[in-house]
Amino acid sequence: MSENPIREAIQQAIADHDVILFMKGTPEAPRCGFSARAVQCLEGLEAPFAAVDVLPDPRIREELSGLSNWPTIPQLFVKGELLGGSDIILEMYESGELAQAIGIAAPGAGTPEERAAEQPPMQIENRLN
């Protein structure tokens, strides 16, 4: 029997997933605005990520905070490293650092010509008939 199964499960989850968000609720139904904001940033990047709801068992949050030395939820880990909570996630998203940390192209990356080429041509509907 392990000494601390919850801590070990958290460590294993962090090791098993390149991007994992410990949050209140689920990505489909966040239970606080900070968790919702973190999910929006990750979904805005179309980044695949795992999520763990810390609400069902208060020991999850306690062990996570003890492990990360970060007191608040959400907590985002990328490649085993804690990036931070909601405010840091949002700042990194806006600056493009989050996409870089995850290893994906930031939305709007590339030259203006490349971004324009990705956009469908504008269609004008004729309503004069």
In angstroms, what CA-CA distances link 63 with 34, 59, 95? 20, 6, 31
Domain assignment present for 124? no
Number of domains making up the chain: 1
- Strands (DSSP E) contained in 1-129 are 19-23, 50-53, 75-78, 81-84
pTM over 0.75: yes
Q: What is the CATH number of the domain that holds 79?
A: 3.40.30.10
Sign of the C-alpha dihedral computed for residues 12, 14, 52 and 57 taken in this order: positive
Domain assignment present for 123? no
Q: Considering only CA atoms, which of 20, 19, 24, 50 is closest in space to residue 37?
A: 24
Residuewise pLDDT in 10s, the chain (129 residues): 568 999 999 999 999 999 999 999 999 999 999 999 999 999 999 989 999 999 999 999 999 999 999 999 999 999 999 999 999 999 999 999 999 999 998 776 544 555 455 555 555 666 665
Helix (H, G, I), strand (E, B) or coil at 17: coil
Domain that holds residue 63: 5-118
Domain assignment present for 38? yes
Domain assignment present for 71? yes
